[in-house]
Amino acid sequence: MSMRRTLSGGIAVLTMVGAGLTAWAPTASALELRGASADCVSGAGASSAKVADGGSLAADPNRLTSRQVEAREVSLNKQLAKRGLNRSTTSRLANGSVRVPVYVHVIRKNDGSGNTTNREVDRQITVLNRAFSGRTSSASVNTPFRFRLKDVDRTNNTDYYNWSISDDDRPAKRELHQGGFRALNLYVASLEDGLLGYATFPTTNNKLIKRDGVVLTKESLPGGAFGPYSRGDTATHEVGHWLNLYHTFQGGCSDPGDYVADTPRQRAGNNVFVCDPTLNTCGNNVGENALRDPVHNFLNYTDDNCIDRFSRGQEDRMEISYLAYRKGR
């Protein structure tokens, strides 16, 4: 089984049962997602993760605590204030008005095997654009974000290809990263430890520019070998984190949850894998569709066959976060 995870100035990690990792962040905890609870994780900033049904968090070096989330929210408020904005500001960016330049870094083995083709890259960009333009579901929303492929480069390096969370990713990213914080860097390799992908959250720290971006296992791209996780929505999930979204089950049934008012509260347990729209794991949810878990949301842990939407509140959060952290940088 496999998982999604997100790195920020801090880092989030998810692995399968029995896959041990070396923690290189300040805190560590072990979570099993069968019969236990799932949480987002963080390091210097914040982060999140995704595992496939039946997988588990065997090691979780940067678990996101409520204090770490609160610190990120304070940072967001400060950044908005600097730009003369606040969370209630509306009508900031028109749908489709933000063209995000995308640099794709395909990493292969030393002999050139393990390639990801340009066609596969193009299909992944198409998936992103469908998701962020609200074309995946009548319940989804349009957003300002459209992704434009700027460049595809290829690197033959078996060490980089066998990308592992237990290794430092800085050498590969320093060598390959292009553009500023407004550019999306996608690194495509063969992630070890059962990982589907991970991403960085936005940060004010300019020194972290070379760490910014999304890492994907090649088998999560459309047509890959990760079964129900191979329609390209690992990238959608991770780009959501890159634009400052938490998991829908962040904070479980407690306020303020994921800091999005229209995503109902969701218990952080085995239920996050279940594509059952009748689920009501918190019972006292508030918001739209109050008694139902957001099982179809891109920031849930259900597979690519189930997730198909962002909420209006998530669109708003991505927009203000882009203005606060990425625009003009």
Residue 269 lies in a domain: no
> How would DSSP label each residue in 136-159?
S-TTS---SEEEEEEEEEEEE-HH
Residue 261 lies in a domain: no
- Give me the CATH number covering residue 169: 3.40.390.10
Catalytic residue among 120, 219, 238, 319: 238
Distance CA 305, CA 39 (A): 22
Q: Identify whether the C-beta of residue 72 lies closer than 8 Å to the C-beta of residue 46.
A: yes
What residues form DSSP beta bridges with 148? 101
Number of structural domains (the chain) is 1
Residue 37 lies in a domain: no
Can you give the pLDDT of all 329 residues of the chain as single tens digits?
Answer: 445 555 444 444 333 222 222 222 222 222 222 222 333 333 333 344 455 555 543 333 334 678 889 999 999 999 999 999 888 876 679 999 999 999 999 999 999 999 999 999 999 999 999 999 999 999 999 999 999 999 999 999 999 999 987 778 999 999 999 999 999 999 999 998 778 888 999 999 999 999 999 999 999 999 999 999 999 999 999 999 999 999 999 999 988 999 999 999 999 888 988 999 999 999 865 555 456 999 999 999 999 999 999 999 999 999 999 999 999 99
Helix H or strand E segment including 250: none
Residue 170 lies in a domain: yes
Residue 131 lies in a domain: yes
Residue 303 lies in a domain: no
Residue 20 lies in a domain: no
List of residues 6+ apart from 70 with CB closer than 8 A: none
List of residues 6+ apart from 102 with CB closer than 8 A: 125, 147, 148, 149, 150, 183, 184, 185, 186
Q: Name the residue range of residue 319's domain.
A: 98-244+312-326
Residue 53 lies in a domain: no
Q: Identify whether the C-beta of residue 244 lies closer than 8 Å to the C-beta of residue 318.
A: yes
Q: Is 32 among the residues known to form the active site? A: no
Residue type, 227: G
